[in-house]
Amino acid sequence: MLEVKRVGKVYEGKVAYRALTDIDLSIEDGEFVAIMGPSGSGKTTLLNMVATIDEPTTGEITIGGQNPHRLKKNELAKFRRRELGFVFQDFNLLHTLTVEENIVLPLTLDGKNVKEMKEKARTVAEKLGIAGIMGKRTFEISGGQAQRAAVARAIIHHPKLLLADEPTGNLDSKSSKDVMELLAALNKNDKMTTLLVTHEAQAASYADRVVFIRDGKLYSEIYRGDSQKGFFQQIIDTLSLLGGNDHDFSSVRL
């Protein structure tokens, strides 16, 4: 489904900075993968390149057999709105729109008809438990609700790949848990391929597999067994091996 082949990223500048070196990563259809690593390890850079926000300096990324970086501008725009869903740490909902309008935005951009959009929005909202706040503006809802709305926006068009960048970073522990359970359920029930970048071991423990990055290189990866709790412990252990600074990993929100 997603193939990352020998991808490297160098930021040009007064001092060129190598953010990623020769990353190989492949994600199967319906897989839920978390990427972890200390600050500055390059995990968001990797996600941004997968999300077509940034371009790799070397190497190749294919999503569903297509290399989005080779697409023309307009085709890339269409690719984004049809094949990708994106969830951010700070929600990034448009505050000029209502929750419902935010959710249907990718469809609107694609010129779908209103009835179809309404229908899809209703279905997805019911699934995510935000049907009651559809008419509200973004500043009238809580953080957890906002992130659920953002997830709804990310999945309304049934993307091939759902990308989440620290989705629990701005949420309290209850909301974090809700959002992660939501992502896990989407993955399990709808076979939504998901790539998650996170700091938090708790959040990562919902994934099928956790990939660790350090200093722009793959460090190791671990697969989840039967128990989430055991997986969580495994993650913590790998993190302590990984070193970095302890405070990069919040152990509070367990």
Residues contributing to the site for other proteins (CB under 8 A)? 48, 51-55, 73-74, 77-82, 84, 86, 92, 94-97, 100-101, 104-106, 108-111, 114, 117, 137, 153
Instruction: Provide the minimum distance between the beta carbon of 199 and other proteins in the complex, in angstroms, as a whole number.
Output: 20
Cβ(17)–Cβ(210) under 8 Å?
no
Nearer Cβ to other proteins (84/184): 84
Nearer Cβ to other proteins (42/234): 42
Instruction: Provide the minimum distance between the beta carbon of 105 and other proteins in the complex, in angstroms, as a whole number.
Output: 5
Cβ(211)–Cβ(238) under 8 Å?
no
Instruction: Provide the minimum distance between the beta carbon of 93 and other proteins in the complex, in angstroms, as a whole number.
Output: 9
Nearer Cβ to other proteins (94/241): 94
**């359920």: which residue's tokens?**
185
CA dist 43 and 38 (Å) reads 9
Tell me the chain's radius of gyration from C-alpha atoms: 18
Instruction: Provide the minimum distance between the beta carbon of 209 and other proteins in the complex, in angstroms, as a whole number.
Output: 25
Q: Considering only CA atoms, which of 126, 144, 134, 142 is closest in space to residue 102?
A: 134
Nearer Cβ to other proteins (117/211): 117
Cβ(87)–Cβ(164) under 8 Å?
yes
Half-sphere exposure of 238 toward its Cβ, with a 13 Å CA cutoff? 26
